[in-house]
Structure 1
Amino acid sequence: MRKFLGAGALALILSCSGAASGQANSGEIRLHIAGPQQQGVRASVDLTSGGNQYQNRFTTSASGTADLSALPYGIYLVRVQAPGFTTVTRTIEVRTAFPIDYALRLDVAPVTTTVEVNEAATLVDPHDPSSTMQIGTTQIGNRVNSLPGRSVQDLVNSQPGWLYEGNAVLHPRGSEYQTQFVIDGIPLTDNRSPSFGPDIEADDLDSMSIYTAGFPAEYGRKMGGVVEMNTRRETSPGLHGQVVLAGGSYDTASSYAQAQQVWGRNTFGASAAGNMTSHYLNPVVPQNFTNNGTAGDFSLRFDRDLTASDTLRMSVRHELSRYQIPNEFVQQDAGQRQYGDNFETMGTVLYQHIFSPDVLADFSGMVRNNSNDLYSNPDSTPIIAFQHNYFNEGYFKGAVSFHEGRQEWKAGIESDAMFLHEKFSYTITNPDDFDDGTPLTAAFTGNRPDLEQSAFVQDMIRLGDWTISAGLRWDHYQLLLNQNAVSPRITIGKFFQKPGIVLHASYDRVFQTPSFENILISSSNFASTLNPDFLHLPVQPSKGNYYEGGLTKGFSKNLRLDMNIYRRDVRNYADDDQLLNTGVSYPIAFDKAIIYGAEAKVDLVQWQKLSGFASYSYQVGNAWYPVTGGLFLGDDVSDAETQLRGHFPDSQDQRNTLRLRFQYDLLPRVWFAGGMNYGSGLPFEFDGDQQQAAEEYGPDVINRINFNRGRVDPSLDVNASLGLDLYKSDRMKMNMQADGTNLNDRLNVIDFGGLFSGNAIAPGRSFFVRLKTSF
């Protein structure tokens, strides 16, 4: 079913910087740099990993120590430099959640070391059995500028297997509302698109790991895709920070500021951001009617290493967004104005204790309050809608990790209690657009707890060139239904040394809980007051079997190829529908879905002055009748009851997707980048005829629609960037980046549907400038 950008707004927020074991597959390096007499040396440390797209620079303390945390598993090249000493390079493998204590001795110049390090060794990790995609510091820093609320989503959408439908709503491999973001170890399973609240600022991130298969048993509930995000945490003593100012087309202006003070075992940080634009959501017509939006957030964070074995981290964040709902022609002519907003306050705490070199435990918790609203003025047509939804959430997770020989075990429990409150009312202003007998006014109020618990155990086993990740997860879901499930997971990788290839295969059993947005109103007796002809079926959790096979191959020290084929078999396939013509969406489900495809990505880490990537995705997805869950009214009831067989393309069935971006260093401080995004087009449904569609959306949109094929025409977006390092010293860096997007100025229709059902028009030719200062 099609999506319309409704009034709900759930914020994508930052949590505290988690400990090394907060993420499923990340670790920590504790460096100690010493001179010939074992005295501590203040040194500059460059840490890079070609395979993880990671590059960063640190400065050790006066005693020669540095704590490099939240590092995705992989092989890292460490280069240490200090005045008067020789430069030393080493490779360090991060394979465990346990901190790695690593000591390096520097010799006095001109004595040289005899250690030879091949940078190609970091390009392919022979002990990584998964197809996890990595986004590192360079790609984050040099990304194309995004409209407010989309910086992280745009980065994820650049990876194979992901695509947008509507307002930057991410869909991994055909899944609907089944993406979870894990921010420093805290999972957030609500919708993260701009229409549901402001997002995390990409400038605050250090690295990202993206899963679409080979999921650790630690993750559950929303399993279309998992996006791990590690926020930046300074380790060098003193004051550090960054200020980012950006602006450009559509009256867009953004600001972000962040500072961290490090002293002793303490780190105190604060950040603030604000932005505004006249293109906050994707409009339904090219004219971009009523689309202003503003967003802002403020956060505080405190970290303290209580002892060498105990770490405490806390944070609090408040976010808000306010935006208009875009009009189509009929609504604009009538004078409709609809507004949405979101407010969220969240606090997190994490404590980690290391019992021994082989055993550690971490405990994390979160509390948050989120509210979102929809308002409509009296001129709204065909309906005036009001909504006030909010929830209070409490989350807890405890896990123990232990190392034994060639195995890395982790076991834990988690509990999430969310108390939902929904309030909705409407007044119909144009009865001709509704079924006969639909009440002209109605109201609903409801509340209910959503209680979910889980337990998991997982093991990473390394046997020579073989690596096996095996896990088992138990989930309990209690909202409208009370269900339990056990989900086994296994991933196997084999490294072939001579050709330098890693072959991998995975199987994931998943248990996906329904989206909770507006689930109370759609499952209540309120439906019987809207239409005497209604059908209500409780939405079952989705259960699926995911299969994947693939390979990773390195060429020389610069080029890396990843290829995967996959298939997903899902029962009670999750989708969504909308209540009347309000844009208030709620979950539904179909009997099953089968989604399969192939993906490939080539990363050019650095070849002389050139770097970049190219990715391609082929995907086929179909869903099968009958419907097995959700609310249906009027004519939709007979369709739901009589359509018992057959299948149709799922709404994310885009067969071909191509993305690429390459950067060339023109001068030591000047670079140029160019790229493109191509999509072969999504399927659509429209109840009316072509003439009706032209009257509602205009000929420009209709010319980009193929009614015979039932698909949107292909999209193409060409972009280019120019970067300049304005100033660079040991203490401060200042750079500027200018971006141009959709330089071909093509009218790209992302999604198309009926009245109020979710047309989405991509931005036209746009230009942006970003100025970033780091210290």
Structure 2
Amino acid sequence: MKKLLLWRRVGVAVCVAMLVRYADMSVVLAQGLGGAGRIQGTVKDPTGGVMQAVEVTIRNPVSGFTRTTTTDAAGTFVFSNLPPNPYHLVIEAQGFQRLERDVDVRSAVPITLDLTLALAGATSTVDVVGHAEDLVERDPSAHTDIDQTLIAKLPLESSGGLNQVVTLASPGVVSDSNGFFHPVGDHAQTQFSIDNQPVTDQQSRLYSNQLSPDAVQSMEIITGVAPAEYGDKSSLVVHIVTKSGLDQPKPTGSLAVEYGSFTTPTVDLNIGVGSHRLGNFLSLSGMRTDRFLDAPEFQALHDAGHKISFFDRLDAQTNPTGTFHLNLQAAHSTFDVPNTLDAAALGQEQHQAISTFNIAPGYSQVIGLKTLFTANGFIRQDHLTYAPSPDPFPASPAITT
């Protein structure tokens, strides 16, 4: 006999954000408002002529985020899908003075910069300046910023998932068995926000299939004073911006094939490609192991399992101020429930299978200079199937007389 457990979440979120701009600066607003941001601009010489093939770099030294692009024939540059954070922008061109600018991204409203390079003088000096604003944010929430460059360096287990990233990278979060974690406060009052889609169910290998860490561009782990838009589940909020294929004219990605302990082969494929107007990112991962769940004994007994995960993100700029995105996720995992020595001697054989699918479309429209309209809908389901031992007696307690 099989027992079926089903979780389904359907939701629609609409947000209107009012932003006030002064020159090239924007007022600091709630961190999660509007999702990923965009910095665009034009580089000119002192006469007002546009400059092409000029290298423009932005970075955040706290999260480790760094991205570089070059201006096109019209002297313009674009950085899209930026996590909400402060950035330090640097422009260098031969024969011109180095230009630096601090830009604070807090919403999906594009930030437009008009930058003019000054000619280099006969003599040049080098000034070493520390930018404290890169390290100290004007944000009342207690949070940790994590970029993919840091995620790639973490010693993650093959089945660790996003929960292990949160545990290893955020102070005050304690790990538990099978991917659970405990923040400061009620561990049940936690939530993930993936490209503005709320996921408020408890996440672990026992009950759900998570997004692959390779599909994440950045994570902001809020451990205190969460913004009001996240609702009442605020013990810990994980705000995630996934990778995008926008502004990648050449296909860019990675393929990793690994083999580890407990007979654990893994395969991970990630690829992104796109233009300024249309982009797509695809992530595929698969894993098989003889130790899927945390074993109650030193030896993994009846603990084999496998999982496969698919994630695709499509971005399309429908008009100069409107953007549509669509997240698709499908995953399946099948695993044994591990035995103790006594249960193994009795011949217990319990299994679980979890099927997950998620569809999350969204649309953002900039109205004027002060208003951002965003609408996000989603359908998400975790379908868990539990299969007890074929022989019910080994799974039953002994009857004594």
> Structures share a fold, TM > 0.5?
yes
Aligned to 1:30: 39
1:273 aligns with 2:282: no
Offset of 1:209 from its aligned partner? 0.9
Asked whether the 8 Å contact 1:305–1:311 carries over to 2, the reply is yes
Aligned to 2:367: 355
Letter matched to residue 23 of structure 1 = G
1:432 aligns with 2:399: yes
Aligned to 2:343: 331
Asked whether the 8 Å contact 1:56–1:137 carries over to 2, the reply is no
1:296 aligns with 2:263: no
Offset of 1:226 from its aligned partner? 0.8
Residue by residue over 1:39-80, the C-alpha shift from the partner in whole angstroms, topping out at 9 and shown as x without a partner, is 2523443322234x232223246243213334223x321123
Aligned to 1:243: 255
1:142 aligns with 2:153: yes
2:240 to 215, 229, 237: 229
2:128 and 2:197 map into 1 onto residues whose CA distance is 36
CA RMSD of aligned residues (A): 3.3
Asked whether the 8 Å contact 1:297–1:319 carries over to 2, the reply is yes
Aligned to 1:674: none
1:151 aligns with 2:161: yes
Asked whether the 8 Å contact 2:145–2:219 carries over to 1, the reply is yes
Change (3 A) 1:265 1:327: same
Offset of 1:171 from its aligned partner? 1.4
Offset of 1:245 from its aligned partner? 2.8
Asked whether the 8 Å contact 1:275–1:295 carries over to 2, the reply is yes
Asked whether the 8 Å contact 1:33–1:42 carries over to 2, the reply is no
1:112 and 1:48 map into 2 onto residues whose CA distance is 28
1:175 aligns with 2:182: no
For 1:155, what is the secondary structure of its paired residue?
helix
Offset of 1:153 from its aligned partner? 1.4
Letter matched to residue 163 of structure 2 = Q
Change (3 A) 1:46 1:312: same
Asked whether the 8 Å contact 1:45–1:80 carries over to 2, the reply is yes
Change (3 A) 1:29 1:269: closer
Asked whether the 8 Å contact 2:244–2:313 carries over to 1, the reply is no
2:229 to 192, 195, 218: 218
Change (3 A) 1:9 1:41: farther
For 1:167, what is the secondary structure of its paired residue?
helix
**Structure 2 unaligned spans of 5+:** 9-15, 18-29
Aligned to 1:315: 327
1:213 and 1:381 map into 2 onto residues whose CA distance is 49
Change (3 A) 1:303 1:224: same
Query: Of Structure 1 and Structure 2, which has the larger fraction of its residues in strand?
Result: 1
Aligned to 1:527: none
1:54 and 1:215 map into 2 onto residues whose CA distance is 23
1:190 aligns with 2:201: yes
1:55 to 37, 62, 65: 65
Asked whether the 8 Å contact 1:88–1:113 carries over to 2, the reply is no
Letter matched to residue 60 of structure 2 = S
1:432 and 1:176 map into 2 onto residues whose CA distance is 37
Asked whether the 8 Å contact 2:311–2:329 carries over to 1, the reply is yes
Asked whether the 8 Å contact 1:9–1:195 carries over to 2, the reply is no
Letter matched to residue 263 of structure 2 = D
Change (3 A) 1:256 1:42: farther
Change (3 A) 1:319 1:221: farther
1:9 and 1:114 map into 2 onto residues whose CA distance is 66
Letter matched to residue 167 of structure 2 = N
Asked whether the 8 Å contact 2:323–2:364 carries over to 1, the reply is yes
1:57 and 1:306 map into 2 onto residues whose CA distance is 25
Aligned to 2:25: none
Letter matched to residue 57 of structure 1 = R
Offset of 1:210 from its aligned partner? 1.0
1:10 and 1:157 map into 2 onto residues whose CA distance is 25
Change (3 A) 1:172 1:105: same
Offset of 1:193 from its aligned partner? 0.8
- Counterparts of 1:70-219 in structure 2, within 5 Å, are 70-73=82-85, 75-81=86-92, 87-106=98-117, 118-125=129-136, 127-148=138-159, 150-158=160-168, 159-219=170-230
Change (3 A) 1:69 1:85: farther
1:110 and 1:236 map into 2 onto residues whose CA distance is 35
Asked whether the 8 Å contact 1:49–1:122 carries over to 2, the reply is no
Letter matched to residue 241 of structure 1 = G
Residue by residue over 1:460-495, the C-alpha shift from the partner in whole angstroms, topping out at 9 and shown as x without a partner, is xxxxxxxxxxxxxxxxxxxxxxxxxxxxxxxxxxxx
Between structure 1 and structure 2, the one with the greater Rg is: 1
- Counterparts of 1:549-564 in structure 2, within 5 Å, are none
1:378 and 1:280 map into 2 onto residues whose CA distance is 21
2:226 and 2:393 map into 1 onto residues whose CA distance is 45
For 1:333, what is the secondary structure of its paired residue?
helix
1:45 and 1:151 map into 2 onto residues whose CA distance is 34
Change (3 A) 1:226 1:382: farther
Offset of 1:361 from its aligned partner? 0.8
Higher RCO (CA < 8 A, seq sep 6+): 2
Aligned to 2:383: 371
1:121 and 1:314 map into 2 onto residues whose CA distance is 37
**Structure 1 unaligned spans of 5+:** 1-5, 12-18, 384-428, 437-775
Change (3 A) 1:7 1:89: farther
The TM-score normalised by the length of structure 1 is: 0.45
Change (3 A) 1:315 1:165: closer
Offset of 1:7 from its aligned partner? 8.9
Offset of 1:29 from its aligned partner? 3.7
2:229 and 2:200 map into 1 onto residues whose CA distance is 14
User: How many residues were matched structurally?
Assistant: 376
Shifted more, 368-377 versus 98-107: the winner is 98-107
Offset of 1:152 from its aligned partner? 1.8
The TM-score normalised by the length of structure 2 is: 0.82
Residue by residue over 1:514-539, the C-alpha shift from the partner in whole angstroms, topping out at 9 and shown as x without a partner, is xxxxxxxxxxxxxxxxxxxxxxxxxx
Letter matched to residue 115 of structure 2 = L
1:54 and 1:95 map into 2 onto residues whose CA distance is 18
For 1:194, what is the secondary structure of its paired residue?
coil
1:67 aligns with 2:94: no
1:357 and 1:310 map into 2 onto residues whose CA distance is 13
Shifted more, 113-122 versus 287-296: the winner is 113-122
- Counterparts of 1:504-583 in structure 2, within 5 Å, are none
Asked whether the 8 Å contact 2:151–2:213 carries over to 1, the reply is yes
For 1:374, what is the secondary structure of its paired residue?
strand
Give the fraction of aligned pairs with identical amino acids, expressed as a percent: 24
Residue by residue over 1:369-424, the C-alpha shift from the partner in whole angstroms, topping out at 9 and shown as x without a partner, is 331111123245553xxxxxxxxxxxxxxxxxxxxxxxxxxxxxxxxxxxxxxxxx
Asked whether the 8 Å contact 1:8–1:195 carries over to 2, the reply is no
1:55 and 1:85 map into 2 onto residues whose CA distance is 26
1:137 and 1:299 map into 2 onto residues whose CA distance is 16
1:175 and 1:301 map into 2 onto residues whose CA distance is 32
2:208 and 2:103 map into 1 onto residues whose CA distance is 40
- Counterparts of 1:624-703 in structure 2, within 5 Å, are none
For 2:214, what is the secondary structure of its paired residue?
helix
1:9 and 1:117 map into 2 onto residues whose CA distance is 58
Change (3 A) 1:163 1:126: closer
Offset of 1:206 from its aligned partner? 1.8
Change (3 A) 1:303 1:374: same
Aligned to 2:275: 263
